[in-house]
Amino acid sequence: MAEMRLLLVLLMLPFLGERGSGFSPEARIVGGTAAVPRQWPWQVSLRDRGQHVCGGSLISHQWVLTAAHCVSSSASLKDLRVQLGEAALYSRPRGSISVAVVRAIQHPSFTGDALQGSDVALVKLARPVPFSSTIRPIALAPPGSEFPAGSLCWVTGWGDVQQDVALSEPLRLQEVDVRVVGLDSCRKLYYPEPITKNMLCAGDVQGQKGFCEGDSGGPLVCQLRDRRWVQAAVVSFSRGCAEPGLPGVYARVSSYWAWIQRHLLLPGHFRRNFSRG
């Protein structure tokens, strides 16, 4: 087996999403640009003892979607908080909110290894948050959603801008456009690692566009023909950071839609802090 250096990006429906107006000319994520405030109001920062460890997306007044590997069962809930409405990390602008976490639920099929799939988790906030121009949920792609190869989508986060190169001050949220890559092509590129139908691959043929360490759990969003935004997938893993010809691998939201909805509609059924069901 050829040696594969995989970077696991570890920092770690209700409303249909509407992207804020405005565009930014700056550079970064990997190969992206700094997002204008309010452009991606569902983006959140998951923090452990005050430090950003993962991204995530607000999907209702009290729930955040992230990657399962972002909420290790060995972590302590009292150390976790979610920061909402913040375009630049740690800036705490007026209207931003920091909320404690009361529950983190990994998908029951998650084995602890993102490469094996089911890399999704739900985080319940200690209290419902009000929606505003900077805090708004994203709609989730329902079962049967298709994002054909070549579809243009966007991924956002505060992760490294190159491998081992951290985002510089003022730590503005980064955005980058990526194209969906067909599963058959993605399987060939990642062989012998298993790329399943519950994953989605997206990147850039030339490389230098995609996510990196610190972006895990963040949303990949795509705009429908009627201009509504939906979350297609969750940042999971990649080989390196936006390597040429290698797409990033995401957990496909539509594959887990029913599981997500079950937890959102039936709160309070999980007695342990971290649940596998």
- Residues that are catalytic: 69, 119, 216
Q: Omega of the bond prior to 148 within 30 degrees of 0, cis?
A: no
* Parallel, antiparallel or unpaired: strands 219-223 and 199-203: unpaired
**Residue 21 contacts by C-beta under 8 Å, 6 or more apart in sequence?**
36, 38, 39
Q: Give CA 31 to chain center in angstroms.
A: 17
Q: Omega of the bond prior to 14 within 30 degrees of 0, cis?
A: no
For the record, the structure tokens of 272 come out as 């342990």
Distances (CA, A) of 44 to 66, 116, 125, 156: 9, 25, 12, 10
Q: Would you tell me how many other CB atoms lie within 10 Å of the CB of residue 98? A: 14
